[in-house]
Amino acid sequence: MKLEDTKDIAAPRTVVWEAILNPEVLKTCIPGCQELTGSVEDGFEAVVIQKVGPVKATFKGQVTLSDIKVSESLLLTGEGKGGPAGFAKGAAKVSFADTDEGGTRLTYDVEAKVGGKLAQLGSRIIDGFTKKLADQFFERFQDGLEEPVETENADEEGEKPKKGWLKRMFN
Amino acid sequence: MAADGGMGFATKRREDVRFLTGRGKYTDDYSPANTTYCAFARSTVANGTIKSIDVSAAAEMPGVVAVFTGEDFVEVGGNPAGWAIVSRDGDPMKEPKRPVLAHGKVRHVGDAYAAVIAESLAEAMDAVEAIEADIEELEAVVNMADALANNDVLVHDEIGTNQCFDWGWIEDNRAATDEAIKNAPHVTTLELVNNRLVPNAMEPRCSIGEYDPGTGDYKLTTTSQNPHLTRLLISAFVMGIPENKLTVHAPDVGGGFGSKIYHYGEEALVLAAAKKLGRPVKWTSTRTEAFLSDAHGRDHVTKIELACETDGTFIAFRTETMANVGAYLSNFSTATPTFLHGTLMAGNYTVPNVYVNVKAVFTNTAPVDAYRGAGRPEATFSLERVIDKAARELGINPVEIRRKNFVKPDQYPFASAAGLEYDSGNYDALMDGLEKHADLAGFEARAAESAKNGKLRGLGVNSYIEACGIAPSNLVGVLGSRVGLYDAATVRVNATGNISVMVGAHSHGQGHETAFPQVVADMLGVDPMSVEIVHGDTSKIPFGMGTYGSRSLAVCGSAVYRATEKIIKKATLIAAHMMEDSAENVDFADGEFSVKGTNKKVGFGEVALKAYIPHDFPIEDIEPGLEETAFYDPANFTYPSGAYACEVEVDPDTGKVDICSMVAMDDFGNVVNPMIVTGQVQGGLAQGIGQALLEHGVYDENGQLLSGSLMDYAMPRADDLPNLVVDHSYATECTHNPIGVKGCGEAGAIGSPPTVVNAVVDALQRGGHDVEHIDMPVSPARVWEAMNG
C-alpha cells in the first residue's frame, strides 16, 4: 500500500520542522496514540489503539525519525505489534518546502504494510484505512499548527477549522 | 435382490436422521472429564527467524496448565510426505522436515510456534497473547516463478533451493512429443492458472488427545477422513507410539474435501500434551486458523500446447506446470500434481503423444495438497481449455473436435499416452446424451433471446475422464507411494441375524452408512436396515486407507463385497450341515439356503443363529461364528467420465457472469444409490462453479493471506448456482471390481470449471471481443477487463 499527498500549512517552515520533532505533537497527531515516550535521538516507544474493520487491537511499537535533513526532509517510520491482531508497519518520507504564501508545503510519501489478522480480515479496507490514518495524522498536524489562526477565524456556524482557513486564504 | 433398498434404490440417507435433527456427534461435541483446552500462537509473518520465545508471562496467566514450543518437539519426528517423487535427473525430491511446532524458523503466516494449554479456551487464548516471541521477519517468497529463479530467499535453507522436484511424465516420451509438436501443422498454446482454493469444510478441524497412565494407552479423537493413516503416521514417523497403544477415532465429520485426509501437527501436540499433563487436551480450530493452516488446494501455473492436424486430429499434448506445495510437504502434496495429474493428461482422447513436466515449488504459504479432484481438475482444466482454443483457431465445432479424438467403445482396454489403461467407457454416448439434455441445437435461439436483453450468451462444453480409487498397490509402490492403496472390511453377522460391517473408508458426507448396507443386503437378501456400518475408529476396524479420491465404494465397497462373499460361503457350509446335505448341493438366493431338487430350506437368520450355537457342529470342518474380513487391492483405477455443458450470460456493462444452465452427463458405472450419487455430483458442481467464478486464495507479496475470512473469500451460495441437471443413467461397468462401480465424489468439481470458462470465453467471442482466456475466478472485474482492456 502506497500513497502520496501534499498539505500546505500556514506556518513558516522552521515552526513546522520543530513541531514534527516534538514528541507531544507526535502523540497528538498519531491517531489512537495512548502513550509516546522517548526522544528523536533514541526513537519513541508508542502505544496505539486502532480498529480496522472487525479487528480492534492495542499496538505496541517503535516510532523513529531518521534521514534527518534539517528543515528539508525526514523519514518517519513506525512498527507496531498488535498480538493476535497482527502487525502494522509504515514509513512516511516527509519533505518540507516554502509556499508562495509564506507557509510550508508538506509532501508525504507513505508506504504501509499489515500482517496477520489485519491482513486476513481487513485487506478489503486496508488501503482506505491507511489513507485515512495518514490523512488524520497530517490533518491534525496541520490543525495543530494553524490553531491560532483558526481560533481567530472560527465562524459562528461552526465550520471546520480547515474551511475557515481556506476562506481566509481566498478572501 | 433385496425386496427394497438394495442395489440401485434411491434409499434416503439414514445418517441424515441424526444430522438433520442436531444429533450428529462431532469431535468438538466430545469433552471428556477434566478436559483442558489448547490454543496456538501462530506466525503473523510469512518467513522469519525465531530469535526467542518467552513464555514465562503466559505460563503465569490464570488457568494456564502448560506451554509448549518447538523446542519441546526437537527430538520428535517430522510429518512425512506419503509419496516419494524422483526428479527427471534421477534425484530424489527435496523433503525438508515438517515439525510439530515451528522451530528455528516460521515459514508461513499461521505456522504454529507455541501452544498454550489451559483450564478454559478463553484462558488459553488470553495466554497466547502473553507469549513474547521475538521473530525477525525475513523477506518472503510467494510467487512460484520467483521462488525457482532466485535462491536468495529460501523457504528451507537446508535444501538450498525452493524446488521440491522437477518431474517428467513420461520422460521417455519427451523426445517423441517434442518432435511431434515441432512437425505439427497446427499448435495451440495456452498459459493458465489453476487458482488456489481454501477448502472451508463447514466443520473446522478439531482434535482431542487422551492418555491413560494406568494402561499407557493413547486416544486421539479427531476430524479425519483417514484415521488409520493418521495412526500410522503418528506411530511410525512422528511420535513412535505403538499402534496397539493408540486409538484414532474420527466420529461424525462435517466435510473434508481432502483437507482432512492428512495428519497435522495439532494432532501430535494434543497427544503429547495429554501424556505430559495426564489430562485430556482439546483443540478446536477457529475459522481464521482454518484459512491459515488447513492444506489448500490447486495453485498451478501451466503452459499447455496442443499439436494437431488441420482437421483437428490431436497429435500431442505437452505441458509445463509449476505446482505450489506451500511451505511444507503435506502428506499427499507430492502425489497430487504428479501421478494424479500427469497421468490424466491424455484426457478422453486417442492422442499418441503426451509429455508433462511438473516443477513443485516451496513458497512461504500454507501447504497445498489434494482438494476435491486432486490433480484431475487441474489436468482437465488445462486440456479442455486448450482444446476449446484449438477448435476456435481451426474453425471446428468444440463438440466435433472432441468426438473426433474420443477413444471409441471398441478400443477398451485402452492404453492412454499418459500411461493409464482405461478399462471401460463410451464418451460418444455421453456426448449424445448431452446434446439432447442440454439442447445444444437450440443454443442459437437462446443466444438471440439473450442478445435482445442486452446480454452476451455463451456455450461451453467439456468432456472429462478421471481416475478414482488410486491403485493397484504394486504399481503405486513402483511409482513412489509409501503406502498401499487397498482397503479392508469385516462383515460380522451377529447371532440374531443382524449385521455389523466394519469398513476402512470414512464417511463424512458420502452416505456410506446408507449405501454400503445396500450392497450387503442385496447380496444376502436381508433388510438393509439390519445392516449397520461401523467406521472411523481404529479400535473397531481391522484396517483402512480412508476416504479420498472417490475410492470408498470402488475399493472399500469391493472389500465389503468380498467379505460378504466369504460370509455366504461359510453360511452355505453351515446350512448344508443343518440340512444334512453337502455344500455343493446348496443354493443361496433371496436370503434362503435350499438343497437343489428338494424342498429343504433354511433362512439366513437361522444359519446365523446356528453359527453361534454350534452344539452339533463338525468342529474340524466348520468353525463357530459368522464373521469374515477381506482386504481388497484393486487391479486398476476406475475411470469415470462425463460430458458437461454450461450456458452463461455475461452482462457487457459489468462483466458479471450468470450461469443459466449446467448439465452433467456422467458415467459412474453401476450406481448403488442414485439419490446419493446425484447429491455428490451436485456438491461437486457447486464447488467447481465456486472455483470458476468466485473462490481465490490470495497472498500478497509479503506472504500475508488477504483472503483470510469468509468476508474475503467468496464461497458459492445457492443464488450463484443454476438448476443443476445431473444424469448418470448411462453407465459402462468398471470391469475389474466386483460391484462394477467407478466413483462419483469428485466428478462435478473436475468437469465444471473448464465448462464454465469455455462458456464465458464463448460469450465474449460471440460479443466480438478477442478474448482467448480468462483465469479463474472469472470475476466481473476480470471479465470487464478482458472486454475493455
Considering only CB atoms, B288 lies closest to which of A114, A115, A117, namely A117
Taking every pair of Cα atoms in chain B, the longest distance, rounded to a whole number of angstroms, is 87
What distance in Å separates residue A135's CA from the closest CA in chain B? 24
* H/E stretch holding B530: none
Enumerate residues 6+ apart whose C-beta is below 8 A from B332: B81, B82, B83, B261, B262, B369, B370, B374, B548
pLDDT for the residue A80? 87
CB spacing of B706 vs A123 below 8 angstroms: yes
DSSP structural state of residue B654: T
Same domain, B458 and B512: no
CB of B117 closer than 8 Å to CB of B277: yes
Domains of chain B: total:
3
Is residue A127 included in any domain, yes or no?
A: yes
CB spacing of B109 vs A121 below 8 angstroms: no
Dist. CA B789–CA B783, nearest whole Å: 9
Is residue A45 included in any domain, yes or no?
A: yes
Chain A CB contacts of B291 below 8 Å: 120
Domain's final residue, options B293, B316, B349: B293
Same domain, B92 and B239: yes
Dihedral over Cα of B712, B718, B719, B720: its sign: positive
CB of B705 closer than 8 Å to CB of B697: yes
Domain of residue B524, CATH code: 3.30.365.10
Same domain, B286 and B342: no
pLDDT in tens, chain A (171 residues): 788 889 899 888 988 998 888 888 888 888 899 999 998 888 899 998 888 776 778 888 888 989 999 999 999 898 888 877 788 888 999 999 999 988 999 999 988 888 888 887 766 777 788 888 888 888 888 888 875 544 444 444 444 444 333 333 333
CB spacing of A114 vs B705 below 8 angstroms: no
Chain B CB contacts of A115 below 8 Å: 44-45, 109, 702, 704
Is residue B211 included in any domain, yes or no?
A: yes
Residue B327 forms contact with A (CB below 8 Å): no
Same domain, B673 and B619: no
Coil/strand/helix, residue B678? helix
Same domain, B454 and B540: no
Is residue A157 included in any domain, yes or no?
A: no
Same domain, B213 and B64: yes
pLDDT for the residue A153? 46
Closest CA to B40 of B110, B102, B109, B115: B115
Is residue B574 included in any domain, yes or no?
A: yes
What distance in Å separates residue A170's CA from the closest CA in chain B? 43
CA nearest A120 in B: which residue? B708
Coil/strand/helix, residue B625? coil
Domain of residue A80, CATH code: 3.30.530.20
What distance in Å separates residue B706's CA from the closest CA in chain A? 5
CB of B581 closer than 8 Å to CB of B600: yes
Residues 265-294 in B contacting A (C-alpha not used; CB under 8 Å): 288, 291-292
Domain's final residue, options B603, B632, B661: B632
Same domain, B567 and B548: yes
Is residue B192 included in any domain, yes or no?
A: no
Could you tell me the pTM of the whole model?
0.92
pLDDT for the residue B553? 94
A95's grid cell: 519533505
Coil/strand/helix, residue B757? helix
Residues 95-124 in B contacting A (C-alpha not used; CB under 8 Å): 109
CA nearest A87 in B: which residue? B44
B292's grid cell: 491459515
Q: CA dist B127 to A26, B209, B224, B277, Å?
A: 32, 20, 28, 18
What distance in Å separates residue B700's CA from the closest CA in chain A? 9
Domain's final residue, options B632, B659, B674: B632
Residue segments in chain B with a per-residue pLDDT below the cut of 70: 1-4
B779's grid cell: 470475476
Strand partners for A63: A44, A78
- ω into residue B472 within 30 of 0, thus cis? yes
Considering only CB atoms, A119 lies closest to which of B128, B706, B711, namely B706
pLDDT for the residue A135? 87
CB spacing of B704 vs A115 below 8 angstroms: yes
CB spacing of B712 vs A121 below 8 angstroms: yes
Domains of chain A: total:
1
Q: Can you give B72-113 as a three-state secondary structure string?
A: HHCCCCCCCCCECCECCCCCECCCCCCCCCCCCEECCCCCEE
Chain B CB contacts of A87 below 8 Å: 44-45
Q: Can you give B320-355 as a three-state secondary structure string?
A: EEEEEEECCCCCCCCCCCCCCCHHHCCCCECCCEEE
Question: Which residues form the domain of B87?
Answer: 31-138+202-255+260-293
Question: Which residues form the domain of A36?
Answer: 2-147+162-169
CB spacing of B292 vs A120 below 8 angstroms: yes
Ramachandran bin of B109, using left for φ above 0, alpha for ψ from -120 to 50, beta for the remaining angles? beta
What distance in Å separates residue A81's CA from the closest CA in chain B? 10
Residue B705 forms contact with A (CB below 8 Å): yes
Is residue A84 included in any domain, yes or no?
A: yes
With an 8 Å Cβ cutoff, the interface of chain A facing chain B consists of 83-84, 86-87, 113-117, 119-121, 123-124
Is residue B728 included in any domain, yes or no?
A: yes
Q: How many CB atoms lie within 10 A of CB B183?
A: 11
Considering only CB atoms, A116 lies closest to which of B44, B129, B709, namely B44
What distance in Å separates residue A67's CA from the closest CA in chain B? 23
CA nearest A118 in B: which residue? B706
Domain of residue B94, CATH code: 3.90.1170.50
Is residue B739 included in any domain, yes or no?
A: yes
Residue B702 forms contact with A (CB below 8 Å): yes
Same domain, B456 and B491: no
Same domain, B72 and B211: yes
Is residue B148 included in any domain, yes or no?
A: no
Dist. CA B606–CA B574, nearest whole Å: 10
Same domain, B448 and B363: yes
CB of B138 closer than 8 Å to CB of B153: yes
Same domain, B645 and B669: yes
Is residue B193 included in any domain, yes or no?
A: no
Closest CA to B344 of B384, B383, B379, B295: B379
Dist. CA A88–CA B95, nearest whole Å: 34
Beta strands in chain A (DSSP E): 2-9, 33-39, 43-52, 55-69, 73-81, 87-98, 104-115
Same domain, B348 and B458: yes
Which segments of B719-777 does DSSP mark as H helices, in order?
A: 747-766
Coil/strand/helix, residue A134? helix
Is residue A64 included in any domain, yes or no?
A: yes
Chain A CB contacts of B45 below 8 Å: 87, 115
Chain A CB contacts of B138 below 8 Å: none
Chain B CB contacts of A116 below 8 Å: 44, 109, 704
Is residue B662 included in any domain, yes or no?
A: yes
Considering only CB atoms, A119 lies closest to which of B125, B700, B711, namely B700
